[in-house]
Amino acid sequence: MASGAVERFDHKARESFESLGKTTVYRGELLRHPVYTRVLHWAVALFFFLALFTGFGIYLPWLFRWFTPIFGGGPLSRIMHPYFGMAFVFFFGLQALNWLQPMLWTPADSKWMRNIMKVVSGEEKMEPPETGFFNAGQKFQFWEIVGGCVAYLITGIILWAGARTFGRIPVAISYVVHDISALIMLGGIFVHIYLSTIGEPGTFQSMIRGAVSEAWAWTFHPAWYKQITGRDPLQACEDARRQMKS
Protein backbone atom coordinates (compact mmCIF):
# COMPACT_ATOMS: atom_id res chain seq x y z
CA MET A 1 0.00 0.00 0.00
CA ALA A 2 2.83 2.39 0.89
CA SER A 3 4.69 1.29 -2.25
CA GLY A 4 1.65 2.13 -4.37
CA ALA A 5 1.36 5.58 -2.79
CA VAL A 6 5.04 6.28 -3.52
CA GLU A 7 4.61 5.19 -7.14
CA ARG A 8 1.53 7.39 -7.59
CA PHE A 9 3.31 10.39 -6.08
CA ASP A 10 6.39 9.84 -8.23
CA HIS A 11 4.32 9.36 -11.39
CA LYS A 12 2.35 12.55 -10.75
CA ALA A 13 5.56 14.50 -10.09
CA ARG A 14 7.09 13.24 -13.34
CA GLU A 15 4.02 14.30 -15.30
CA SER A 16 3.97 17.74 -13.69
CA PHE A 17 7.63 18.43 -14.48
CA GLU A 18 7.36 17.12 -18.05
CA SER A 19 4.94 19.98 -18.72
CA LEU A 20 7.62 22.44 -17.52
CA GLY A 21 10.55 21.07 -19.49
CA LYS A 22 11.44 19.11 -22.59
CA THR A 23 13.52 16.04 -23.32
CA THR A 24 14.55 15.53 -26.94
CA VAL A 25 15.53 11.99 -27.89
CA TYR A 26 17.20 11.72 -31.29
CA ARG A 27 17.53 8.68 -33.52
CA GLY A 28 19.94 6.19 -32.02
CA GLU A 29 19.26 7.45 -28.48
CA LEU A 30 17.20 6.28 -25.52
CA LEU A 31 15.44 8.25 -22.80
CA ARG A 32 17.46 7.84 -19.61
CA HIS A 33 16.31 10.52 -17.15
CA PRO A 34 13.09 12.58 -17.45
CA VAL A 35 12.92 16.24 -16.44
CA TYR A 36 11.80 15.51 -12.86
CA THR A 37 14.76 13.23 -12.19
CA ARG A 38 17.22 15.75 -13.61
CA VAL A 39 15.80 18.62 -11.55
CA LEU A 40 16.08 16.55 -8.38
CA HIS A 41 19.64 15.48 -9.20
CA TRP A 42 20.87 19.05 -9.68
CA ALA A 43 18.97 20.32 -6.63
CA VAL A 44 20.67 17.60 -4.56
CA ALA A 45 24.06 18.54 -6.02
CA LEU A 46 23.53 22.27 -5.44
CA PHE A 47 22.53 21.98 -1.79
CA PHE A 48 25.17 19.34 -1.09
CA PHE A 49 27.94 21.71 -2.13
CA LEU A 50 26.34 24.71 -0.40
CA ALA A 51 26.16 22.67 2.81
CA LEU A 52 29.70 21.39 2.21
CA PHE A 53 31.27 24.83 1.68
CA THR A 54 29.51 26.44 4.63
CA GLY A 55 30.40 23.37 6.70
CA PHE A 56 34.08 23.66 5.77
CA GLY A 57 34.04 27.26 6.97
CA ILE A 58 32.73 26.08 10.34
CA TYR A 59 34.83 22.92 10.63
CA LEU A 60 38.21 24.36 9.61
CA PRO A 61 37.90 28.15 9.58
CA TRP A 62 41.68 28.64 9.58
CA LEU A 63 41.95 26.71 6.29
CA PHE A 64 38.67 27.51 4.56
CA ARG A 65 38.08 31.07 5.74
CA TRP A 66 38.08 32.20 2.10
CA PHE A 67 34.76 30.30 1.69
CA THR A 68 32.86 32.25 4.31
CA PRO A 69 32.81 35.71 2.62
CA ILE A 70 30.86 34.09 -0.24
CA PHE A 71 28.04 33.48 2.24
CA GLY A 72 28.30 36.80 4.04
CA GLY A 73 30.91 35.85 6.66
CA GLY A 74 31.42 33.22 9.35
CA PRO A 75 28.35 33.92 11.53
CA LEU A 76 25.99 33.93 8.53
CA SER A 77 27.61 30.75 7.16
CA ARG A 78 26.93 29.06 10.48
CA ILE A 79 23.29 30.13 10.32
CA MET A 80 22.81 29.06 6.70
CA HIS A 81 24.57 25.69 6.98
CA PRO A 82 21.74 23.72 8.65
CA TYR A 83 19.19 25.13 6.19
CA PHE A 84 21.34 24.06 3.23
CA GLY A 85 21.70 20.66 4.90
CA MET A 86 17.95 20.27 5.36
CA ALA A 87 17.35 21.22 1.73
CA PHE A 88 19.90 18.59 0.65
CA VAL A 89 18.20 15.89 2.73
CA PHE A 90 14.75 16.96 1.48
CA PHE A 91 15.62 16.82 -2.21
CA PHE A 92 17.57 13.61 -1.83
CA GLY A 93 14.54 12.14 -0.04
CA LEU A 94 12.49 12.88 -3.17
CA GLN A 95 15.28 11.42 -5.30
CA ALA A 96 15.28 8.28 -3.15
CA LEU A 97 11.55 7.84 -3.75
CA ASN A 98 12.14 8.44 -7.45
CA TRP A 99 14.84 5.76 -7.66
CA LEU A 100 13.79 3.34 -4.93
CA GLN A 101 12.70 0.48 -7.19
CA PRO A 102 15.74 0.39 -9.53
CA MET A 103 18.07 0.82 -6.53
CA LEU A 104 16.96 -2.39 -4.80
CA TRP A 105 19.81 -4.88 -4.43
CA THR A 106 19.70 -8.07 -6.51
CA PRO A 107 21.86 -11.23 -6.82
CA ALA A 108 23.31 -9.72 -10.03
CA ASP A 109 24.65 -6.82 -7.95
CA SER A 110 26.44 -9.19 -5.58
CA LYS A 111 28.03 -10.86 -8.59
CA TRP A 112 29.06 -7.43 -9.94
CA MET A 113 30.76 -6.59 -6.63
CA ARG A 114 32.72 -9.86 -6.70
CA ASN A 115 34.09 -8.89 -10.13
CA ILE A 116 34.61 -5.22 -9.30
CA MET A 117 38.36 -5.30 -9.98
CA LYS A 118 37.77 -6.40 -13.57
CA VAL A 119 35.29 -3.55 -14.03
CA VAL A 120 37.56 -0.92 -12.45
CA SER A 121 40.67 -2.06 -14.32
CA GLY A 122 38.89 -1.94 -17.67
CA GLU A 123 39.49 -5.63 -18.28
CA GLU A 124 35.78 -5.96 -19.01
CA LYS A 125 34.96 -3.67 -21.93
CA MET A 126 31.23 -4.07 -21.38
CA GLU A 127 29.31 -4.31 -18.13
CA PRO A 128 28.04 -7.79 -17.18
CA PRO A 129 24.87 -8.69 -19.13
CA GLU A 130 22.79 -8.64 -15.92
CA THR A 131 23.53 -4.94 -15.26
CA GLY A 132 20.22 -3.09 -15.26
CA PHE A 133 19.29 0.59 -14.93
CA PHE A 134 21.95 1.02 -12.21
CA ASN A 135 25.02 -1.09 -11.53
CA ALA A 136 26.04 -2.30 -8.08
CA GLY A 137 28.54 0.53 -7.60
CA GLN A 138 25.86 3.14 -8.20
CA LYS A 139 23.48 1.34 -5.86
CA PHE A 140 26.16 1.11 -3.18
CA GLN A 141 26.73 4.87 -3.36
CA PHE A 142 22.99 5.53 -3.30
CA TRP A 143 22.54 3.58 -0.07
CA GLU A 144 25.67 5.20 1.38
CA ILE A 145 24.03 8.60 0.78
CA VAL A 146 20.79 7.34 2.35
CA GLY A 147 22.77 6.36 5.46
CA GLY A 148 24.62 9.66 5.35
CA CYS A 149 21.37 11.64 5.20
CA VAL A 150 20.04 9.79 8.24
CA ALA A 151 23.29 10.54 10.09
CA TYR A 152 23.20 14.21 9.01
CA LEU A 153 19.60 14.60 10.11
CA ILE A 154 20.07 13.05 13.55
CA THR A 155 23.43 14.62 14.36
CA GLY A 156 22.47 17.92 12.75
CA ILE A 157 19.43 18.29 14.97
CA ILE A 158 21.53 17.51 18.04
CA LEU A 159 24.20 20.02 17.03
CA TRP A 160 21.60 22.65 16.15
CA ALA A 161 19.80 22.31 19.48
CA GLY A 162 23.08 22.14 21.37
CA ALA A 163 24.27 20.82 24.72
CA ARG A 164 21.53 22.57 26.69
CA THR A 165 18.96 20.28 25.06
CA PHE A 166 20.84 17.02 24.50
CA GLY A 167 23.88 17.25 26.78
CA ARG A 168 27.59 17.55 26.10
CA ILE A 169 28.36 13.89 25.29
CA PRO A 170 25.70 13.50 22.52
CA VAL A 171 26.87 16.79 21.01
CA ALA A 172 30.53 15.68 21.07
CA ILE A 173 29.65 12.34 19.44
CA SER A 174 27.48 14.11 16.87
CA TYR A 175 30.38 16.35 15.82
CA VAL A 176 32.50 13.28 15.04
CA VAL A 177 29.75 11.33 13.26
CA HIS A 178 28.62 14.39 11.29
CA ASP A 179 32.13 15.18 10.07
CA ILE A 180 33.05 11.58 9.22
CA SER A 181 29.79 11.16 7.28
CA ALA A 182 30.55 14.32 5.31
CA LEU A 183 34.07 13.17 4.42
CA ILE A 184 32.85 9.72 3.33
CA MET A 185 30.17 11.28 1.16
CA LEU A 186 32.65 13.78 -0.30
CA GLY A 187 34.94 10.92 -1.31
CA GLY A 188 32.01 9.18 -2.98
CA ILE A 189 31.09 12.38 -4.83
CA PHE A 190 34.61 12.62 -6.29
CA VAL A 191 34.26 9.05 -7.59
CA HIS A 192 30.80 9.90 -8.94
CA ILE A 193 32.08 12.97 -10.80
CA TYR A 194 34.97 10.97 -12.31
CA LEU A 195 32.76 8.11 -13.48
CA SER A 196 30.08 10.39 -14.90
CA THR A 197 32.61 12.30 -17.00
CA ILE A 198 35.89 10.50 -17.78
CA GLY A 199 35.19 6.99 -16.54
CA GLU A 200 31.95 6.48 -18.50
CA PRO A 201 31.83 9.01 -21.36
CA GLY A 202 28.28 10.00 -22.24
CA THR A 203 26.94 9.67 -18.70
CA PHE A 204 27.05 13.38 -17.94
CA GLN A 205 24.79 14.25 -20.85
CA SER A 206 22.11 11.94 -19.47
CA MET A 207 21.67 14.40 -16.59
CA ILE A 208 21.81 17.41 -18.91
CA ARG A 209 19.71 16.31 -21.88
CA GLY A 210 18.07 13.22 -20.40
CA ALA A 211 19.06 10.94 -23.27
CA VAL A 212 21.94 8.55 -23.97
CA SER A 213 23.19 6.80 -27.08
CA GLU A 214 22.23 3.19 -27.65
CA ALA A 215 25.95 2.35 -27.65
CA TRP A 216 26.26 3.81 -24.14
CA ALA A 217 23.25 1.80 -23.01
CA TRP A 218 24.44 -1.57 -24.29
CA THR A 219 27.97 -0.93 -23.00
CA PHE A 220 27.20 0.19 -19.44
CA HIS A 221 23.66 -1.09 -18.77
CA PRO A 222 23.01 -4.04 -21.12
CA ALA A 223 20.05 -5.51 -19.20
CA TRP A 224 18.33 -2.11 -19.21
CA TYR A 225 19.04 -1.78 -22.94
CA LYS A 226 17.44 -5.16 -23.57
CA GLN A 227 14.44 -4.28 -21.39
CA ILE A 228 13.83 -1.00 -23.27
CA THR A 229 14.55 -2.10 -26.85
CA GLY A 230 13.93 -5.84 -26.77
CA ARG A 231 17.25 -6.33 -28.55
CA ASP A 232 20.24 -8.39 -27.42
CA PRO A 233 22.99 -5.91 -26.37
CA LEU A 234 25.86 -8.07 -27.65
CA GLN A 235 24.14 -8.52 -30.99
CA ALA A 236 23.45 -4.80 -31.21
CA CYS A 237 27.12 -4.09 -30.54
CA GLU A 238 28.22 -6.54 -33.25
CA ASP A 239 25.74 -5.05 -35.73
CA ALA A 240 27.11 -1.56 -35.02
CA ARG A 241 30.67 -2.78 -35.60
CA ARG A 242 29.74 -4.35 -38.93
CA GLN A 243 28.03 -1.14 -40.04
CA MET A 244 31.14 0.86 -39.18
CA LYS A 245 33.34 -1.48 -41.25
CA SER A 246 31.02 -1.55 -44.27
Q: Tell me the whole-structure pTM to 2 decimals.
A: 0.89
Bridge partner list, 211: 31
155 vs 131: CA distance, rounded Å: 35
| pLDDT score recorded for residue 246 | 67
CB 95: neighbour CB atoms within 10 A?
A: 21
Length of the chain: 246
List of residues 6+ apart from 159 with CB closer than 8 A: 171, 174, 175, 178
Q: What is the pLDDT of residues 45-56, one digit of tens each?
A: 999 999 999 988
Question: How would you write the pLDDT of the chain (246 residues) with one tens digit per residue?
Answer: 555 666 667 767 777 777 777 888 999 999 999 999 999 999 999 999 999 999 888 888 777 777 788 888 888 888 999 999 999 999 999 999 999 999 999 999 999 998 888 777 766 778 889 999 999 999 999 999 999 999 999 999 999 999 889 999 999 999 999 999 999 999 999 999 998 988 888 899 999 999 999 999 999 999 999 999 999 998 988 888 888 876
pLDDT in tens, 70-80: 888 888 888 99
CA proximity to 41, closest of 237, 216, 208:
208
Going from the C-alpha of 29 to that of each of 4, 98, 226, the distances in angstroms are 30, 22, 14
DSSP 131: -
